[in-house]
Amino acid sequence: MAGTGEVPFGRYYGSVDATPLFVVLAGAYFERTGDLDTVRELWPNVERALRWIEGDGDPDRDGFVEYSRRSARGLVHQGWKDSQDSVFHRDGTLAEGPIALCEVQALVFAAWRAASRLAAVLGEPARAAELAARAESLRQRFEERFWCEELATYALALDAYKRPCEVRTSNAGQCLYTGISSPERAARVAAGLLDDASYSGWGIRTVAANEMRYNPMSYHNGSVWPHDNALNAAGFARYGLKREAMRVMTGIFDASIFFDLHRLPELFCGFARRAGESPTHYPVSCSPQAWASGAALLLLQSCLNLRILGTESRLRFVSPILPPYLKAVWIRGLRIRDAVVDVTIERHGDDTAISVPRKEGDVEVLSVE
């Protein structure tokens, strides 16, 4: 399809979130590994990415990263929901670009914070403080411009006229993954994403069932995507909403039973769960698909509230929980810098117990409430 020009993906740069994600990944890599040499090597690229965020990524200099199509051959929408009808207003009318997506601003916030931490470990305290201030400034502007009190969630996007797309979508849940939301608003977003309009019983829909463009068989306007659910669940866990994260994991786990080899597909339809029936397959869903495969691990990590701190040679669990259908989890051969550890997490009623049957090297395993 790319070779014939039907889709633009032969060589294509129409991705609004790839650049902040690169910076976020650099920060996550350092936290996981403590590898300062690689961070030092990547730092010039991180700085170039930050310049893009401030420059070409924000052409009107309003402080929000936005996109617009420059070529008729490119995609209309350049976030992860890239269908041409995936960004719209409450009445169903399509939003005009340039478009500033809510989760993209959240990723930029995470990028500023990650870069601030990296600057600090690289011995640039003034740069670290500047980047931290940028993150806080964006957080405040985001809360002011994107929050929709009536819907108790964040607007899907701002359109070309800076009007919010007041639509209930899973994009708001991805914002929580970055920590940009206040705790009170995060709890309200999570509650909305788990009501009957948004939660199908198998997972969180991309668009709530009471929105104008909702269609459970739509690619981006009512379907259920495992990777999207995993990011939502990770956001819930970040704010201590463990039961909410476990509910998402349970729905996706139950759905996986009905797929070939228990392999999570790219997406499935958003029809409400009915007793004795399977989720409705999306006919052309990719399977296997990389981010669907990774979803299972992130869902589990969210329930365990697990962080791997390579900079401190520490493995930390914060009030981990396991769903009723999962009695125990064994993690074997987990590498933290030069150390290797095996960990067992067992459920006893509503409580969990953590044991360390093997530990080689300098690593500390903590379980805190």
Alpha helices in 14-170 (DSSP H): 18-33, 36-54, 102-121, 125-146
Q: Are residues 312 and 367 in the same domain?
A: yes
Please choose, from the candidates 320, 317, 287, 289, the residue with its C-alpha nearest in 3D space to the C-alpha of residue 303. Answer: 320
The yes-or-no verdict on residue 306 having pLDDT over 90 is: yes
Q: Give the model's confidence band at 305: pLDDT under 50 very low, under 70 low, under 90 confident, else very high.
A: very high
Q: Please give the average per-residue pLDDT across 249-265, as a whole number.
A: 96
Cis peptide bond N-terminal to 98, omega within 30: yes
pLDDT digits (tens, 9 = 90+) for 58-82: 999 999 999 999 888 889 999 999 9
The radius of gyration of the chain from alpha carbons, rounded to an integer in Å, stands at 21
Element (H, E) at 368: strand 364-368
Instruction: Specify whether 261 is located in the same domain as 332.
Output: no
Instruction: Look up the domain containing 350 and give its range.
Output: 307-369
My answer on whether 39 and 91 are in the same domain is: yes
Full-model pTM: 0.95
115 in the same domain as 193: no
| 87 falls within a domain | yes
**In 151-239, which ranges are E strands?**
153-154, 157-158
User: Residue 215 — pLDDT band, cuts 50, 70, 90?
Assistant: very high
Q: At which of 270, 285, 304 does a domain end?
A: 304
Q: What is the mean pLDDT of residues 300-328?
A: 94
Band (167; pLDDT cuts 50, 70, 90): very high
Cα separation, 216 vs 224, whole angstroms: 8
Residue 173 falls within a domain, yes or no? no
Which of 5-19, 130-144, 245-259 shows the lowest per-residue confidence on average (mean pLDDT)? Answer: 5-19
* Mean of pLDDT values over 304-309: 94
Q: Among residues 249, 279, 304, which one ends one of the domains?
A: 304
Report helix, strand or coil for 367: strand
pLDDT at 193: 98
- Please check whether residue 180 lies inside any domain of the structure: no
**pLDDT score recorded for residue 14:** 86
- pLDDT score for 143: 98
The answer on 142 and 76 residing in a single domain is yes
One domain for residues 292 and 352: no
